[in-house]
Structure 1
């Protein structure tokens, strides 16, 4: 009984243990789906799917104007203040409406160009136009998901996540078997509709408690504070996915489309275990950091998170590394050239996890300049390292770039966070000891 009691007493462990169940189910399904994709469409098909997934992640930020983190932060801070929440959601829906209109128009009228850019053919212009119609669902799902995270309703989050994943995976498998790569791409494109429907079924009653839909106005009282999060989202989600698309295109140009598929497959495996941490950051870390104002409290919380998460992830990654050949044969049979990529990818992901934890302070305290600077450095280093290392090491150079980039970024972000607390401490001292006017 000691272990369950310890878990119940520790919110982070409660979120982590619940996520373990969800991720285990997702992982099992993902293994089956990814193997099926690998067998039916090969490396080239995996590359195309990677391009589309990066595009949909771009749209997730564009269509809602990047307000997700702002929603999480202010819902967690003002969950009992109905008036403040009304100001927040009125602003959010005006911003999302603007994002939806602009994004849909760009997709619809730029379908041929976008298809050519992503897939080196206009054959998939119809897919881009389909996404233009689906954009409203992408935007609303992102906003409502922010409410779930802001309220730290990790049990409801787990239900939404698993049911939406099961439904979308089922659709993907059916479409893949019936229509091959075209069916798979269409299934991925309409997944946001499934996610939105599942969220509304499970979460609508709670949403009505916090969002008074009938009283939403076209006013934007919180526009300035949310624009800061929009800017941060642009430099994280948008630029990151854009660089992923560019790197995949670079691999195709410099090496082959098959190698681009190998790298995409490696990142897919990485995402399978890294998704375990992403929900923890938004459900636990962000709301927690938002309420911490002293360096000592911050250090205590960071060390607590490190002690809880890093050993779990470290052991898991060691197991993945030594079982890599089995994993390749299980998920991506025939993708044997992926094996050398594991070492660098796993090392990079471990350092990335440690980096993201302290980096969430930028989001929690809305440190826009520090966040943007660190993101530009991170994304810039990744592209530059990848570009030059592929000349010498081929596709392995891309995962080497992934590791080198996060080692540098860890120390950079650590320095920026420490500098922030030093400035805060200095300001507090000045407030307590104001200088005489004489």
Structure 2
């Protein structure tokens, strides 16, 4: 017993000293604030617009994910990676930021114009109704501000300004909650849809004010002409980001559309509610990945260094996931009652497969992030498209057997296969005996 206690204490000491745990600790405050504001927002929105409204909001959320990625030119991860690598070289940083700004402004203007011109078509295709064209017009006019905000946050991440990053996230969460609730309480479903496409744009002004004293926030860093050399470097990230933007949201939209039309809009709302809960608890992990893991992998050179970092992160993440997901499953009834209304109680049947799927999702992401950090565009695009197709295919198939629960079962199966694929793809890094 004494030996086991000693080993457990040694493990805890090792875990608490890990860099990623320090980042977890640093981001825990912003994550807590974001979760609390998310809880309040989800509760009020669900109570006002119900399961059907939540499903409709989910359709819009998936579409805006695509639009936002297009408006940023897909280069935000590239900005973080290259700033992390070159932050001590001001001339290269100026080239990266100047080219990045021009790409983002150009993409945003094109996307905004298309949204305004095609608002009627998008209302029918995305929202399955002709009544919501105004939402896409508003999005078209505000999308540039969102793209600029995401660029600023990517730069902060690249410079490893962790404390500033945390403070901005806290401010954004609070302002976003106030903004959303004002619209929802005033306009109901219409307010929920409007806030969904505009609140991120409002955050641009909050971010600018909070970083106004940082040395790189000067026109001198953004005034150089666009450079073809830098554009080519960013292009790999454009391919990866646009692929993600076109696969994950589209696959969810296809599956949700099937549930709405063939099963029930209410059950589609249950699945969307499950996705919102999933996004909420995964935010703790993914925030730390974005803040620490991606820049860290970008910095490391050599197989041995990468292997050490990956295994060190697994030792920290896997126990946290197991304990956290077990607690969430045991408290699923309480979570549904707190976050939603009695109309959502049947969604407790979705928790088991969703949680197991999320476990494999995060475990596979620890390897998949290598594709982003090392600009493996071809591998990333291929795997994203393939596994989006398998998710949709298995989702349709499993729904024939188990209804809406079949989507979560397909989600689980898809990420188990994805995990196996990542292990095979990076087997030399994980298992090669000689360096």
Q: TM-score, normalised by structure 2?
A: 0.92
SS at match of 2:137: helix
Contact 1:56 1:189 in 2 (8 A): yes
Deviation at 1:219, TM superposition (A): 3.7
Task: Supply the distance in 2 between the matched residues of 1:214 and 1:370 (Cα, whole angstroms).
Answer: 32
Q: Secondary structure at 1:80's aligned position in 2?
A: coil
Q: Establish whether residue 174 from structure 1 lines up as the match of residue 182 from structure 2.
A: yes
Residue pairs, 1:31-110, within 5 angstroms: 31-110=39-118
Structure 2 CA distance for aligned equivalents of residues 421 and 264 of structure 1: 36
What does the per-residue CA deviation read over 1:288-341, in whole Å, with 9 as the maximum and x for residues that have no partner? 111223222222111111111221122111000000011111111221110110
Q: Is the 8 A contact 2:98 2:221 kept in 1?
A: no
- Equivalent pair of 2:98/2:222 in contact (CA under 8 Å): no
> Are 2:404 and 1:390 equivalent residues in the alignment?
no
Count matched residues. Answer: 424
2:133 paired with 1:125? yes
- State the partner residue of 1:195: 203
**Distance in 2 separating the partners of 1:419 and 1:408:** 19
- RMSD value, Cα: 2.2
The 2-side partners of 1:160 and 1:26 are apart by 11
Aligned to 2:64, the other structure's residue is in SS state: helix
Matched, 1:359 2:368: yes
Change (3 A) 1:370 1:358: same
Decide whether the 8 Å contact of 1:345 with 1:403 is kept in 2.
Answer: yes
* Cα distance in 2 for residues equivalent to 1:218 and 1:285: 29
> Aligned equivalents of 2:95 and 2:427: distance in 1?
33
Moved more, 234-243 or 203-212: 203-212
Shift of 1:205: 2.3
The answer to which of 64-73 and 298-307 deviates more is: 298-307
Contact 1:71 1:146 in 2 (8 A): yes
Is 2:407 the partner of 1:407? no
Deviating more after overlay: 292-301 vs 307-316: 292-301
For the 8 Å contact 1:232–1:371, the answer to whether it is kept is: yes
Give the one of 284, 290, 298 matched to 1:282: 290
Shift of 1:10: 3.6
More moved, 232-241 vs 413-422: 413-422
Contact 2:97/2:222 (8 A) holds in 1: no
Question: Are the aligned partners of 1:294 and 1:421 in contact in 2 as well (CA < 8 Å)?
Answer: no
The equivalences for 1:301-380 within 5 A come to: 301-334=309-342, 335-380=344-389
Q: TM-score, normalised by structure 1?
A: 0.92
1:61–1:238: 8 Å Cα contact kept in structure 2?
no
Residues 374 and 413, structure 1, Cα contact 8 Å, conserved in 2: no
Question: C-alpha distance in 2, partners of 1:78/1:219?
Answer: 16
Provide the C-alpha distance between the structure 1 equivalents of 2:430 and 2:144, rounded to a whole number of angstroms. 40
Q: Does the CA contact (< 8 Å) of 2:149 and 2:204 recur in 1?
A: yes
Residues 1:200 and 1:6: Cα distance change in structure 2 (over 3 Å): farther
Alpha-carbon shift at residue 273 of structure 1 (Å): 0.7
- Flag structure 1 segments of 5+ consecutive residues without an equivalent: 429-438
